Chain A
Amino acid sequence: RKEVEQDPGPFNVPEGATVAFNCTYSNSASQSFFWYRQDCRKEPKLLMSVYSSGNEDGRFTAQLNRASQYISLLIRDSKLSDSATYLCVVNMGNTGTASKLTFGTGTRLQVTL
């Protein structure tokens, strides 16, 4: 089983649609969680951190379910510019030890007119 698993997609959605991505992780002791965005042939960039209480940043909402070891990202009112690969990232390192950011393989989103 992969440490961080994502549906690879692609998700093809029309502009204005709402789309949700899911991610599961294997290490129940993981402490921090992130969503990164990667455009084609570019480097990953932080989209948002994921907090236990859930958090929202404009059209983006991230949720964490520790009991199910599950993270989600919801994008509302999709824009053409949202087309990218979304990477689920979990810090598998134990508290007090070195960081061990583990990346999922990514979910590709294509928003169309």
Chain B
Amino acid sequence: NAGVTQTPKFRVLKTGQSMTLLCAQDMNHEYMYWYRQDPGMGLRLIHYSVGEGTTAKGEVPDGYNVSRLKKQNFLLGLESAAPSQTSVYFCASSLLRDTEAFFGQGTRLTVV
């Protein structure tokens, strides 16, 4: 019962470093999403994908890139990390547009 798995779970980066967050789902879902959650801000959509090979910008895409080369994987990249990107990142997937979104356990990222 893996569901949605995110790696890593914790990471500390120095300003300017790059990293990739991996999201994997084993439910054959079409839709995948990356959110960030900050105190008092709720979850905000960074990028999303409606199927293999497709990506689109969400509410706060600047500073991030994504790729969905395989249906089960959705990668979130930070090319040059900034302290403003310190946050908890959640990946989610859903079968269809209006069905339940399943979330990964989150990645706690600190940029110093």
Contacts and interface: CB of A to CB of B under 8 A. Distances in A.
Contacts, number: 50
A39 to B, nearest CB: 11
Nearest to B33: A101
Which of B35, B58, B90, B97 has the most CB atoms of chain A within a 10 A radius of its CB? Answer: B97
A98 interface: yes
Contacts of B94: 99
Interface residues of A, number: 23
Interface stretch (B66-74, B75-83, B103-111): B103-111
Contacts of B43: 44, 87, 103
A91 B90 contact: no
A87 B100 contact: no
* Chain B interface residue number, banded: 20 to 34
B48 interface: yes
Contacts of B40: 8, 105
B13 interface: no
B105 A105 contact: no
A43 B90 contact: yes
Interface string A31-49: 1101000000011111001
Nearest to B49: A98
Contact of B42 (A31, A43, A49, A106): A106
Interface string B14-39: 00000000000000000101010000
A100 interface: yes
Contact of A101 (B45, B50, B104): B45
Given A103-B42, A105-B41, 4 more contacts: A34-B100, A44-B90, A99-B50, A101-B101
28 contacts: A31-B98, A32-B98, A42-B106, A43-B103, A43-B104, A43-B105, A43-B106, A44-B43, A44-B90, A45-B103, A46-B100, A87-B42, A87-B43, A91-B98, A93-B97, A98-B31, A98-B50, A98-B56, A99-B48, A99-B50, A99-B97, A100-B45, A100-B58, A103-B43, A104-B42, A105-B40, A105-B41, A105-B42
The 4 closest A-B pairs by CB, nearest first: A43-B103, A105-B42, A103-B43, A32-B98
